[in-house]
Amino acid sequence: MNRVILAVAGGRKTQSIVEDCRSCPEGRRILVLGYTTASQHELLTRIRAAGVHGHQVEVMGWFAFLLQHLVRPYLPLLYEGRRLTGLNFEGDPGRYATGIERFLDTDDRAYMLHLAKLAHDVAAASNGAAIDRLEHIYDEIYIDEVQDLGGWDLEIIQLLLKTKLRITMVGDMRQALLSTNIKDPKNKPYRKEKIFNWFQLMEQRKLLSIEQAPTTYRSSQPIATLSDSIFDPSLGYAPTISASTETHEHAGLFTVREADAIEYAQRHEALCLRHSRAVAKHLDLPFMTFGVAKGRTVDHVLIYPTAKALQFLTGGARLEGQAACALYVGVTRAKHSVAFITDQQLLNTTAWTRAPILPKAPGPS
């Protein structure tokens, strides 16, 4: 049965793919797809470290998959005489382009902007040949970070779900900060974190089963509980349970005054996070944005909250959409402590104060 595994941050999503690959029967042919270059590198590194050899498992990017297995072999069936030469990453054919001009530039490179739609159309033009070819090459396909897919990508996934292939997808909608194509109007109601509704629709059609994996092996329970509170319970996410057994002398949720932020960051070697470069420019801290920090694990995190995040943290309205996902990603990077730079007192936090400077012990007389 096809399945989508929705795991929380720190839930060993990628590791679950690696373990499945390692335990697969001899001769089983597996394709593992990742969206970002970083995720592909991480998958390949871990799979090799687990002793799984390349003849069993192949790691590929999502765009490379669409090009290599759907568009390139069967493009002439849709557009006679045309051969794919590559991918145009940044080009835009224009809003009113139609026909082949909408999908290929003058050098016959596919526009990334419309690649998924082109792949879908080519697969349809092949009258089942594209899917039959995939079924003869692979037995299983894994898709990592599935929350980053949207638009016509979901139509491609639906095609795959109807094949003989066993499809397994892993992801966390609450970390939906990236997107294969944010301009793609297809499946607009299911963009980013709302992809959960699309999974539910596919489950209703008996094309997959949804498995929630709410255990985090990274963050302590106070951090996990805070991360849960960012989202409305009506969204249906299972409460996060911490299985972390690590302890630390500096653990919990804190507020740090702006005047103390630099000292705090240095003392606890905290990862400093903010929403964008436009935020907290007056503080001389090695900030990283939430999106860039995605995938990292550290002991301590120091966050400069946006005005909306601060309102939520003081008991105001919950965050929604990208604002909620960004704060979730920031909070869940930490294993032991999360601190917010603010002079206000926040709910369920402890105000951090500088430790007193003790006098030096007298030297030998």
User: pTM, whole model, 2 decimals?
Assistant: 0.84
Mean pLDDT on 8-23: 91
Chain centroid to Cα 172, Å, comes to: 6
pLDDT value of residue 175: 84
Could you name the CATH architecture of 3-213? 3-Layer(aba) Sandwich (3.40)
pLDDT value of residue 178: 58
Q: What confidence tens digit (pLDDT) does each residue in 172-227 have?
A: 888 876 555 666 778 888 887 788 899 999 999 999 999 999 999 999 999 999 99
| CATH 3.40.50.300 location in the chain | 3-213, 221-351
Residue 307: pLDDT above 70?
Answer: yes
Whole-number Å distance between alpha carbons of 249 and 228: 24
Mean of pLDDT over the chain: 91
The stretches of the chain forming alpha helices (DSSP H) are: 13-23, 37-49, 62-65, 72-78, 100-103, 115-125, 129-137, 152-161, 195-204, 221-229, 261-268, 290-293, 307-313, 321-331
Fold of 221-351: Rossmann fold (3.40.50)
